[in-house]
Structure 1
């Protein structure tokens, strides 16, 4: 058989791009540990010391009341101190049974242990136009297109709001249209933020309507509220803390995020930046559990790195990759549901720089056991842009990374001594052996747009690079894949209640 000819595997992979896949085999990370056991303990002790003796400023009244009732103290300079006993009790009793639900069965994400899942993310103000290849301001339609593209990509299991709908006229319109575009665009679990604490109720009402009632949503919540509850270094963001409280009370899972920038808003040292991020995140977790002991809270220290020559954020270096892997390791140290940022390439297009920066960062975070890796696909230009063809490129990359995290299954069957003996005494090769055919489907991940053909076949087919092939694949998906999970009556109900920027035609439905 001539090497490189198209196979049924190629055709199946292409077909999978136009169907919503069931979440595949779960990868278990945690084998990669950039911190030694003594170093983990040192980070932990430094975190407890910071929270107990320095604390955080700008705490909101309800937080002060709750923390001081549990032994905390407000200093003369209005810093809220968190006693180590309270922090340790929080970690010990925090929920570890978090499941992020989709709008349909079969899309559940179990965030326990070292299970690894990939997500979009970014809240970028710009998109790389699929037709012109140039950056422009993003719209609600672009956000919807990104969501439905992710809906069709098998290795991206979660959709975190990737773009800002800059055609929204005010914060409430932004939040309403963000929630609608994401929830209409994909049945996978969605994460968004809220522009104002008062808007949490409106977002909740949208979710309750889609779920068929508040009780139904609370039983299987399909949307997470992301909250950057701090303004590093070691200060609470007052409105964000109010949002965190409102989201928990409304039944949302919450992602508690600290995102200081090493050398700017956190220490320049990798270890120092890590300590501050973990301390700030644990402070938010303490508050979340005091609001509701059963809060579905995700521990999300997401320390970033600055290029110290300019002070600008840079997401593509080795420093960012190892810092995020260490943050994921601390999540495993506490055994908390953990989210990380990885994949913030500084490249402006899906080129070689894009590939090596993303692969390094996402691989390390995944191998370290981060449960939910946001910004793992689509993001470019240090979070300033989203590329739709990059989603398709990155989907292939994520498939390979997730397969590597699954590792090597060693058992009497997989060691295959009997198969080796059978083949050696028989045909002398494994190509047609039943075990090969079984393993072909169970153990191997096949890319959709990466090219494995011979140079001759590739040249005869036009010699197209991966970015060009990915752009064609993205166009094909967007031309045909209009998710229909949002019920017709629900869509019309939401349109009666809210001013939606997406028309019925935009979502592939008659007026």
Structure 2
């Protein structure tokens, strides 16, 4: 399915298309940013192992307790489930490292591990910013579908995690199955959804099998994962979510094993203490998933968040958050596990300068630390409580620049240019006309779709419009015309016969 290009020719834009291809190779790899050294990470992990062995996790549901105790764990008199060090070591040795998350088109496949960086949406916001009035309202299933197809059209937003909650669904069951449907109907990129209860996992898996053409076809190319927040910190299982983790692992669904300790609230106020607790809680989930299915595609999702201690609210756009996220990513890589994190949780309510600097700081640090999956990077506002369609478009521009910043620096005779420099200083005195400059301007530079690089005079002559105005226009244009036909009519009919799908067919076609 062809995607709508974000780059559009406009009379008020320079004719950059004449320079050739707009997108250089963006096969990106992070991991060059080091917040902690190996000794520091080993000390943090040692404390995590001690926490699991001596204090363990409370509120373990029976199915989790049975799995862990059968593998050498123990339930204490205080009803805390402990994990012995040898069990932690065995799980770390046995967990898969070769996790790959697929799109329904091969160009959207994402191999994790070894510092590979992929950025996408997320947030599960309950509110959305109206594109025409700058006021917030409650989100609907239609908004979720719109967000999915907008992401489908944006080249630098590489996957779609549920961005908004369909608050017009009456029950948890309707919410989970319709969220899954709307996401799969809106994009061929990899999709992340969630399940409120373990019994919903079977329906989600069944929907995936119908779309894929069978259980084996989905297993060969898993295009949907479950985000599972199995912990209610500190050091306490969320029983329903922990059961979802077991059910998902056994159903063959890739599992995002996520933890959300709030530094200074539900985890220690120090970065080191927060990391140690988050690592212990995340490893508890990874171990449970591995025990439920030794072949599970489990992704380590420690994503500790920072609390503004003046108000008790989240401070997702802070410098402390950027530091904490990068350190947590580095610890995941120290353990050698495929991993995910959150970055881009700006506290600004609109896509303004505050949103820009807060998002860019945290996402850039997470990417350069080598996070495999970075969620919530596009479209989110108000500490993940709100979504904005124009923000998706602006953030797509930002993500392209961040991904480009991960490119390695090529050192060779050709790139060092000693002979060229010598010839140039004796002739024209500039490099603008050199063949290498022309060739590399087409292959080495990523030109923005929205960011304005014109002169002041040209900008003023074209109306002096800021980036939000242009982003609203582009988001509106995409949503008016981009209706990807991701489900064959027969498949869609089967899904609607099998499940209570609330998204009208008429809502999914161009008016």
- The answer to whether TM tops 0.5 is yes
SS class of match (2:279): helix
Aligned in 2, Cα 1:178/1:442: closer, same or farther, shift over 3 Å? same
Q: Tell whether the 8 Å contact from 2:394 to 2:467 is kept in structure 1 after alignment.
A: yes
| Aligned residue number for residue 267 of structure 1 | 268
Q: Tell whether the 8 Å contact from 1:9 to 1:446 is kept in structure 2 after alignment.
A: no
Higher mean displacement: 283-292 or 82-91: 82-91
Q: Tell whether the 8 Å contact from 2:20 to 2:442 is kept in structure 1 after alignment.
A: no
Q: Tell whether the 8 Å contact from 1:121 to 1:376 is kept in structure 2 after alignment.
A: yes
| Aligned residue number for residue 61 of structure 1 | 62
SS class of match (1:27): coil
How far is the alpha carbon of 1:424 from its aligned partner? 4.4
1:242-282, Cα deviation, whole Å (9 max, x unpaired): 11111111111000001011111111111111111111000
SS class of match (2:406): helix
1:337-356 alignment, distance < 5 Å: 337-356=338-357
SS class of match (2:51): helix
Q: Tell whether the 8 Å contact from 1:127 to 1:138 is kept in structure 2 after alignment.
A: yes
Q: Tell whether the 8 Å contact from 2:480 to 2:510 is kept in structure 1 after alignment.
A: no
How far is the alpha carbon of 1:426 from its aligned partner? 5.2
1:381-422, Cα deviation, whole Å (9 max, x unpaired): 011100010011111111111111224222232223344345
| Aligned residue number for residue 366 of structure 1 | 367
Distance of 1:186 and 1:73 partners within structure 2: 44
Distance of 1:261 and 1:24 partners within structure 2: 37
| Aligned residue number for residue 112 of structure 1 | 113
1:160-239 alignment, distance < 5 Å: 160-239=161-240
Q: Does 1:77 align with 2:78?
A: yes
Q: Tell whether the 8 Å contact from 2:481 to 2:510 is kept in structure 1 after alignment.
A: no
Q: Tell whether the 8 Å contact from 1:10 to 1:448 is kept in structure 2 after alignment.
A: no
How far is the alpha carbon of 1:82 from its aligned partner? 0.7
Distance of 1:113 and 1:147 partners within structure 2: 28
Distance of 2:100 and 2:423 partners within structure 1: 44
How far is the alpha carbon of 1:205 from its aligned partner? 1.0
TM-score (normalizing by structure 2): 0.94
How far is the alpha carbon of 1:423 from its aligned partner? 4.1
SS class of match (1:221): coil
| Aligned residue number for residue 17 of structure 2 | 9
Aligned in 2, Cα 1:265/1:5: closer, same or farther, shift over 3 Å? closer
Q: Tell whether the 8 Å contact from 2:253 to 2:297 is kept in structure 1 after alignment.
A: yes
Aligned in 2, Cα 1:405/1:159: closer, same or farther, shift over 3 Å? same
How far is the alpha carbon of 1:11 from its aligned partner? 9.6
Q: Does 1:304 align with 2:305?
A: yes
1:332-411 alignment, distance < 5 Å: 332-411=333-412
1:95-149, Cα deviation, whole Å (9 max, x unpaired): 1111110011221101121011101010000111112221000011111111111
Distance of 2:455 and 2:178 partners within structure 1: 46
How far is the alpha carbon of 1:491 from its aligned partner? 1.3
Distance of 2:507 and 2:381 partners within structure 1: 26
Give structure 1 stretches of 5+ with no counterpart.
none
1:47-74, Cα deviation, whole Å (9 max, x unpaired): 1111111110111222222222222111
Q: Tell whether the 8 Å contact from 2:19 to 2:442 is kept in structure 1 after alignment.
A: no
| Aligned residue number for residue 441 of structure 1 | 442
Distance of 2:428 and 2:367 partners within structure 1: 40
Aligned in 2, Cα 1:92/1:505: closer, same or farther, shift over 3 Å? same
How far is the alpha carbon of 1:37 from its aligned partner? 2.3
Q: Tell whether the 8 Å contact from 1:118 to 1:155 is kept in structure 2 after alignment.
A: yes
1:190-220, Cα deviation, whole Å (9 max, x unpaired): 0011122111111111111100111100110
SS class of match (1:227): strand
1:133-148 alignment, distance < 5 Å: 133-148=134-149
Distance of 1:96 and 1:410 partners within structure 2: 30
Distance of 2:435 and 2:506 partners within structure 1: 49
Q: Does 1:492 align with 2:493?
A: yes
Q: Does 1:38 align with 2:53?
A: no
How far is the alpha carbon of 1:496 from its aligned partner? 2.1
Report the aligned-residue RMSD. 1.8
Distance of 1:24 and 1:5 partners within structure 2: 24
| Aligned residue number for residue 316 of structure 2 | 315
Q: Tell whether the 8 Å contact from 1:5 to 1:457 is kept in structure 2 after alignment.
A: no
SS class of match (2:371): coil
| Aligned residue number for residue 156 of structure 1 | 157
Q: Tell whether the 8 Å contact from 1:229 to 1:258 is kept in structure 2 after alignment.
A: yes
How far is the alpha carbon of 1:228 from its aligned partner? 0.3
Distance of 1:260 and 1:42 partners within structure 2: 19
Distance of 2:465 and 2:260 partners within structure 1: 39
Aligned in 2, Cα 1:10/1:164: closer, same or farther, shift over 3 Å? farther
SS class of match (1:489): helix
| Aligned residue number for residue 99 of structure 1 | 100
Q: Tell whether the 8 Å contact from 2:184 to 2:486 is kept in structure 1 after alignment.
A: no
SS class of match (2:204): helix
Higher mean displacement: 127-136 or 228-237: 127-136
